[in-house]
């Protein structure tokens, strides 16, 4: 019986059909280029997100000096939030007479959705007349008159007898004294914020106009809103001896 070659030929055809297709050099190069662009686009997207957060929302900052002890120490790393200060600036712009009523309503609606700064918050700013960053605590707000009497902070609504002694026990040690630096003990906060360091006896702050001299015609003891850069949110590398 003579052998037939039909099955053998079919098997060879199947092997030929299942053989891997080898890519040419140019096809391999094209795949490599596409892979590179995919990877590059991923990293660019990630970098864009990081930079957006870094410059517009949160930023790291290093504390220098002892003016905020014991809350913060020198070389502490902190996270600072830039959104809160934008609300102050929007509200300040709204109070000025510019733009249409529709635009003003849009501005105040945007500001209303942003977090606020409150008494007791810690902020980073550049004081008028200075070119370095300061970190201090918000003590007094616009529309208040404040007096430092017997090592305590007394706050009144301007033009009113509605006064109270500020309770600072949450962040000041019991032996810390708040003294009237530069010989001035009463301040009228009209615009901006009045700030002090927690280490009152070793803090350059609003009480003495950040050492630029201001008790004449210029009242720079208040930090204008547009000089406030960030609100401190958290310590990145805390001093664990405090816990």
In tens, the pLDDT along 60-102 reads 778 888 999 989 988 888 887 766 655 555 555 555 555 555 5
Residue 234 pLDDT class (50, 70, 90 cuts) = confident
Question: In this predicted structure, what is the pLDDT of residue 243?
Answer: 44
Predicted local confidence at residue 190, as pLDDT: 80
Instruction: Give tens-digit pLDDT for 141-197.
Output: 888 888 998 888 999 988 888 889 999 999 998 888 898 888 888 888 887 889 999
Of the pLDDT bands very low, low, confident and very high (cuts 50, 70, 90), residue 237 is low
Over residues 92-151, the pLDDT tens digits come to 555 555 555 554 444 444 434 344 678 898 989 888 888 888 999 999 888 888 899 888
What does the pLDDT read at residue 43? 80
Give the number of C-alpha atoms closer than 13 A to the C-alpha of residue 90, restricted to the C-beta side.
20
pLDDT > 70? residue 16? no
- If pLDDT is split at 50, 70 and 90, which confidence band does 219 have? low
Q: Which residues, 6 or more positions from 182, have their beta carbon under 8 angstroms from its beta carbon? A: 207, 208, 209, 215
Lowest-confidence region among 12-26, 53-67, 181-195, 227-241: 12-26
**The pLDDT value given to residue 196:** 95
173 to 3, 76, 116, 176, 199: CA distances (angstroms): 105, 19, 27, 5, 9
Report the mean per-residue pLDDT for the chain. 75
pLDDT for the residue numbered 238: 58
Cβ proximity of 198 and 70 under 8 Å: yes
Higher-confidence position of 56 and 44: 44
Residue among 180, 176, 209, 215 nearest 192 (CA): 209
Give percent of the chain with pLDDT exceeding 70.
67
| pLDDT given at position 137 | 94
Q: Which residues contact 127 (CB under 8 A, 6 or more apart)?
A: 134, 210, 212, 220, 223, 227
pLDDT average, residue stretch 202-210:
90
Of the candidates 190, 189, 205, 82, the one whose C-alpha atom is nearest the C-alpha of residue 140 is 189
Mean pLDDT of 13-23: 56
Q: Please tell me which residue, 195 or 11, carries the higher pLDDT value.
A: 195
Model confidence at 5: pLDDT above 60: no
Q: Find, among 154, 215, 156, the residue nearest to 181 by Cα.
A: 215
DSSP 130-189: --S-EEEEEEE-TTEEEEEETTEEEEEETTSS-EEE---TTTS-TT-----GGG--EEEE
In angstroms, rounded to a whole number, what is the distance separating the alpha carbons of residues 174 and 168? 9
In this prediction, residue 91 carries a pLDDT of 53
């Amino acid at each position: 019986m003579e052998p037939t070659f039909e099955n053998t030929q079919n098997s060879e055809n199947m092997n030929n059909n299942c053989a891997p297709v080898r890519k040419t050099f140019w096809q391999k190069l094209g795949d490599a280029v596409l892979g590179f662009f995919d990877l590059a686009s991923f990293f660019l997207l990630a970098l864009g997100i990081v930079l957006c957060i870094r410059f517009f929302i949160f930023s790291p900052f290093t504390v220098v000096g002892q003016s905020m002890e014991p809350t913060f120490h020198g070389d502490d790393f902190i996270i600072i939030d830039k959104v809160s200060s934008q609300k102050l600036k929007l509200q300040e712009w709204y109070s000025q007479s510019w733009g249409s009523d529709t635009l003003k309503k849009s501005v105040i609606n945007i500001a209303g959705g942003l977090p606020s700064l409150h008494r007791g918050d810690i902020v980073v700013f550049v004081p008028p007349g200075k070119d370095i960053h300061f970190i201090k605590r918000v003590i007094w707000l616009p529309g208040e008159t404040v007096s430092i009497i017997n090592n305590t902070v007394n706050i009144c609504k301007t033009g009113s007898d509605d006064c109270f002694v500020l309770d600072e026990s949450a962040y000041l040690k019991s032996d810390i004294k708040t003294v009237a630096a530069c010989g001035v003990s009463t301040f009228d906060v009209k615009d901006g914020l009045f700030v002090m360091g927690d280490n009152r006896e070793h803090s350059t702050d609003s009480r003495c106009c950040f050492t630029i001299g201001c008790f004449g015609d210029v009242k720079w003891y208040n930090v204008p809103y547009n000089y406030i850069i960030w609100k401190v949110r958290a310590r990145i590398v805390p001093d664990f001896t405090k816990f």
